[in-house]
Amino acid sequence: MTIIIAELTTQIRAAEESPYININFSIFHNVSWYSKEHENNKIRLFNGYKRFLDLTIDLGDQPKRIVALVGPNGSGKSRVLDGILYKSSVVTVIGESGGKNFEYHSMNLVPNFNQSNLVLELESGEMFENYVRTTRISRGYAPSTAVSFRSPHKINFHFKIDNLQATPDIAINRFGASTTADVDSKMSENYKRLNAMVTAYQDKNDVPPSVAKLHILGELNQSIKRCLDLEISSVGNILANQGTLYFTKTDQSTKFEFNVLSSGEKEVVDLIVDLFLRKEKYQDSIFLFDEPELHINTSIQGKLLQEIDHLVHPSNQIWISTHSVGFIKALQDNFADSNKL
């Protein structure tokens, strides 16, 4: 499913103290064979959603797989992502906070302000909410997986799990951030899921832990190694007070905890693990990334973008808000043959 959004560069009428907000929409594309039937044709934000009095964005007849919202701080990039999240909340709740009230969404603080002030229309003419409630379910996709979101604000950069407990299916999509202002907290929950995957494969196939680890972690480590000089060596042992990921580097054979990685390394691992776990259950979906380059060196950003593209299912669309020169250059350099800017 792909959102198609309106002009590449436009001026949006806003509050009186700031009559216009300049927003640059840069469109990139590297997959052209996914289904066109359920792509979103338009998004409209009006009646004072955030600072938009009436904004219609349309990506045209050939929507792109990767959409980059490029602009300085305060230009409205995150507000567009919030609009998509707010509209999706009509049919499914994303994240653990459950969203925010009119004070967050309404520029004029209108008490009864709701999702009717946003429109997402598919190319077929079907409205987004109807697609999620009916067509998406008929195709075997859960409504809760229609949108995936990552906030730039992170916690769980230090974790060690000390108890065994059931972890909700990742398709439920009720952990992490609900809006661009929320803090994300996915890593500890995703660690439990990854640990459970290794154990389940071991039990189902009656194989030793080393074989289960190689099977589950093989592809994941390939993605990590294409970005960083490290790989996951172990998913630890919660019962032995080792409830965290362990890593090795080419110049350091002794394993070390996730908690001693740098902020940038943690961010890359956190993102790649999350996308790896969502790969099978999130299809025909919209993936939203708000400033994913935070904490990450510019030399790594291009590699990370390629892994995002690799791990997100081809039927999905990727939205990235950024003001990073490194990310913009990576988009232009790595997707130059099939992008539109």
> pTM of the prediction?
0.85
Q: What is the pLDDT of residue 336?
A: 58
Rounded to whole angstroms, the Cα distance separating 107 from 91 reads 23
Radius of gyration of the chain (CA): 20
Buried b (16+ CB within 10 A) or exposed e, 114-133: ebebbbbbbbeebbbbebbe
145: tokens are 């997986």
Helix (H, G, I), strand (E, B) or coil at 144: helix
Q: What is the pLDDT of residue 231?
A: 95
CATH number of 9-156+281-338: 3.40.50
Residue ranges in the chain whose pLDDT is less than 70: 1-42, 44, 46, 57, 62, 123-124, 155-157, 335-341
pLDDT in tens, 201-258: 999 999 998 899 899 999 999 999 999 999 999 999 888 888 899 999 988 879 999 9
Long-range contacts of 153-158 (CB under 8 A, 24+ apart): 153/177, 153/181, 153/182, 153/183, 153/184, 154/183, 154/184, 154/185, 154/187, 154/267, 154/270, 155/183, 155/184, 155/185, 156/185, 156/186, 156/187, 156/188, 156/270, 157/187, 157/259, 157/263, 157/266, 158/259
Compute CA distances 41 → 119, 220, 290, 302, 341, whole Å.
Answer: 10, 34, 22, 29, 18
Helix (H, G, I), strand (E, B) or coil at 336: helix
Number of neighbours of residue 73 by Cβ within 10 angstroms: 8
93: tokens are 């709740």
Q: What is the pLDDT of residue 227?
A: 95
Rounded to whole angstroms, the Cα distance separating 278 from 287 reads 11
Q: Do 19 and 335 touch, CB atoms closer than 8 A?
A: no
Q: Where are the domains of the chain?
A: 9-156+281-338
